């Protein structure tokens, strides 16, 4: 499968662009910040290092089953990243992962704008039918964002991951193309 | 990795997959009735695909893979645990590929052996799986083994040209009864 790796997408608050080697330091900083990591699956993993994050970008660029973008404000400030993972064109589905790594940019609609842009790309350009994600059960900000973008809660995954050594429930959510079109058409 | 642990139960033995098993797998998986319930497969695998699958499994330290055989040594399928590092969690995948061996409780016996290995040896806290909504035999087996349904993944697969829903199931260590 080939997807255009160099695609850029413009939204109302943010734009998405492919990552480059120069972005490594953003990832290292975000993924070693305890407040950012608190909400991420890899809370229990080793802290981010430059070689690890270099590899993440390299893999995203070479692996045809994933696409990774940097999220920039319209002023050009890099504030996070968003990705489609395990893209499966046979079943028409993919996983979505989004991180706003700059904490002063939380709760300002950037994640919602980026997610909408990516859903548009996934459904219209890649022809996917279903985009799914998992998030922490207590991540109210994230869940609200995903619901605004058309995601439904499908499953409660009990004690799905650890956060600081303690089991934590997660929610699995998904949006189907038809559901998203209904919302996208109203905007 | 290919498991080096041999687990022996009342009627079944779980043992490392051997290259000599692969032609049988390719033969069984050529049957659409067998593939119908296996989410990981799109098309019938060729022997070369099975060899690649075997090599990948060997190389992946987070996958534990066994062949299932009767105590008499008759091969009937495979089972694996895909462990998620740092989460005390694994995903279970089982296929009784020899369909002449279906409906004899072999799946249930296998799952129980793998749960014991996962909770006791690997010290997991959660073992999860996904199963086709219409796979009544599979869902009954997992319920008997203590799994709980956690949700329904809508239009998760395309099966024989139609949308298929997938059921998410899991069992926690505290719910597990040996």
What beta strand segments (E) does B16-116 contain? 63-70, 75-84, 89-96
- Whether the per-residue pLDDT at A2 is higher than 50: the answer is no
Is residue A90 within 8 Å of residue A127, measured between CB atoms?
no
Is residue A183 within 8 Å of residue A149, measured between CB atoms?
yes
Q: What is the pLDDT of residues A71-109, one digit of tens each?
A: 999 999 999 999 999 999 999 999 999 999 999 999 999
Mutate to test the interface with A, among B45, B133, B151, B169 (most CBs of A within 10 A): B151
C-alpha distance from B164 to closest chain A C-alpha (Å): 10
> Does the beta carbon of B170 lie under 8 angstroms from any beta carbon of chain A?
yes
How many Cβ pairs closer than 8 A exist between chain A and B? 64
For chain A, the DSSP string reads ----TT--EE-SSEEEE---GGGHHHHHHHTT-HHHHTTSGGGGSPPP-HHHHHHHHHHHHH-TT-EEEEEEETTS-EEEEEEEEEEETTTTEEEEEEEE--GGGTTSSHHHHHHHHHHHIIIIIS--SEEEEEEETT-HHHHHHHHHTT-EEEEEEEEEEEETTEEEEEEEEEEEHHHHHHHHHH-
Tell me the backbone φ, ψ of residue A21, rounded to 5 degrees: -60, -30
- Whether the per-residue pLDDT at B40 is higher than 90: the answer is no
Name the residue facing B87 among A44, A153, A156 (closest C-beta): A44
Q: What is the pLDDT of residues B12-22, one digit of tens each?
A: 999 999 999 99
pLDDT band at A186 (very low <50, low <70, confident <90, very high): low
Mutate to test the interface with A, among B149, B156, B169 (most CBs of A within 10 A): B156
Query: pLDDT value at position A45?
Result: 82
CB under 8 Å, gap of 24 or more: what pairs does A159-162 form? Answer: A159/B125, A159/B126, A159/B172, A160/A134, A160/B87, A160/B89, A160/B126, A160/B128, A161/A41, A161/A43, A161/A44, A161/A136, A161/B87, A161/B89, A162/A43, A162/A44, A162/B86, A162/B87, A162/B88
Is residue A150 within 8 Å of residue A179, measured between CB atoms?
yes
Mean pLDDT of B140-166: 95
| CA dist list (Å): A132 to A113, A122, A171 | 17, 11, 11
> Does the beta carbon of A156 lie under 8 angstroms from any beta carbon of chain B?
yes
Percent over 70 (pLDDT), chain A: 96
Mean pLDDT of B98-111: 96
Name the residue facing B153 among A90, A92, A154 (closest C-beta): A154
Distance of CA B154 to the CA centre of its chain: 22
Residue A169 CB-half CA count within 13 A? 8
Query: pLDDT value at position A43?
Result: 75
C-alpha distance from B87 to closest chain A C-alpha (Å): 5
Tell which wins on pLDDT, B36 or A110.
A110
- B128 to A162: CB separation less than 8 angstroms, yes or no: no
Mean pLDDT of A33-54: 89
Handedness of CA A21, A14, A68, B150 (dihedral sign): positive
**Which residue is associated with the tokens 């409780």?**
B105
Mean per-residue pLDDT over chain B, rounded: 94
Q: Which of A37, A29, A52, A46 is nearest to A163 (CA)?
A: A37
| CA dist list (Å): B100 to A114, B44, B113, B155 | 51, 19, 22, 30
Exposed, middle or buried, A122 (CB in 10 Å: 0-12/13-18/19+)? buried
Residues in chain B within 8 Å Cβ distance of A133: none
> Does the beta carbon of B168 lie under 8 angstroms from any beta carbon of chain A?
yes
- Whether the per-residue pLDDT at A46 is higher than 90: the answer is no
C-alpha distance from A167 to closest chain B C-alpha (Å): 8
Among A residues 103-132, those touching chain B with beta carbons less than 8 Å apart: 129-130, 132
Query: pLDDT value at position B138?
Result: 95
Q: Retrieve residue A132's tokens.
A: 């799914």
Mean per-residue pLDDT over chain A, rounded: 92
Q: Which of A15, A38, A20 is nearest to A103 (CA)?
A: A38
Is residue B161 within 8 Å of residue B36, measured between CB atoms?
no
Residues in chain B: 178
Mean pLDDT of B132-153: 97
**Which residue is associated with the tokens 């797998």?**
B25
Name the residue facing A157 among B156, B157, B170 (closest C-beta): B170
Query: pLDDT value at position A23?
Result: 95
Mean pLDDT of B80-109: 95
For the entire predicted model, the pTM comes to 0.93
> Does the beta carbon of B86 lie under 8 angstroms from any beta carbon of chain A?
yes
pLDDT band at A1 (very low <50, low <70, confident <90, very high): very low
- Whether the per-residue pLDDT at B98 is higher than 80: the answer is yes
Residues 6+ apart with CB under 8 A from A184: A116, A119, A120
C-alpha distance from A176 to closest chain B C-alpha (Å): 8
> Does the beta carbon of A176 lie under 8 angstroms from any beta carbon of chain B?
yes
pLDDT band at A130 (very low <50, low <70, confident <90, very high): very high
Among B residues 100-159, those touching chain A with beta carbons less than 8 Å apart: 125-126, 128, 148, 150-158
- Whether the per-residue pLDDT at A169 is higher than 50: the answer is yes
Mean pLDDT of A16-33: 94
Mean pLDDT of A111-131: 96
Tell me the backbone φ, ψ of residue A127, rounded to 5 degrees: 75, 25
What SS3 class is residue B178?
coil
- Cα–Cα distance, B149 to B131 (Å, whole number): 10
């Amino acid at each position: 499968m080939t997807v255009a790796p160099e695609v850029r997408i413009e939204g109302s608050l943010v734009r998405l662009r492919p990552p480059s080697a120069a972005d490594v330091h953003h990832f290292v900083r975000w993924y070693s910040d305890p407040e950012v990591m608190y909400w991420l699956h890899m809370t229990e993993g080793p802290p981010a290092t430059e070689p690890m994050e270099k590899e993440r970008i390299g893999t995203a660029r070479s692996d045809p089953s994933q696409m990774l973008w940097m999220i920039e404000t319209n002023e050009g400030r890099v504030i996070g990243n968003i990705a489609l993972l395990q893209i499966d064109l046979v079943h028409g589905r993919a996983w979505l992962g989004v991180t706003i790594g700059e904490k002063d940019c939380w709760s300002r609609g950037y994640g919602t704008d980026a997610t909408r842009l990516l859903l548009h790309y996934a459904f219209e350009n890649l022809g996917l039918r279903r985009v799914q994600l998992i998030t922490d059960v207590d991540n109210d900000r994230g869940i609200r964002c995903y619901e605004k973008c058309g995601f439904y809660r499908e499953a409660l995954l009990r004690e799905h991951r650890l956060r600081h050594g303690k089991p934590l429930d997660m929610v699995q959510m998904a949006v189907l193309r038809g559901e998203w079109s209904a919302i996208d058409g109203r905007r | 990795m290919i498991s080096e642990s041999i687990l022996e139960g009342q009627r079944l033995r779980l043992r490392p997959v051997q290259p000599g098993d692969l032609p049988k797998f390719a033969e069984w998986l050529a049957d659409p009735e067998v593939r119908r319930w296996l989410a990981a497969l799109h098309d019938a695998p060729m022997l070369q695909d099975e060899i690649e699958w075997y090599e990948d499994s060997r190389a992946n330290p987070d996958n534990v893979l066994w062949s299932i055989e009767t105590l008499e040594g008759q091969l009937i399928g495979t089972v694996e645990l895909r462990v998620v590092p740092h989460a005390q969690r694994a995903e279970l995948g089982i296929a009784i590929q020899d369909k002449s061996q279906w409906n004899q409780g072999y799946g249930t016996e296998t799952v129980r052996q793998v749960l014991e290995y996962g909770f006791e040896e690997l010290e997991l806290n959660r073992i999860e799986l996904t199963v086709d909504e219409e796979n009544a035999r599979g869902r009954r087996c997992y319920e008997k083994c203590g799994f709980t349904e956690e949700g329904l993944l809508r239009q998760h697969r395309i099966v024989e040209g139609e949308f298929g829903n997938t059921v998410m199931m899991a069992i926690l260590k505290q719910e597990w009864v040996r």
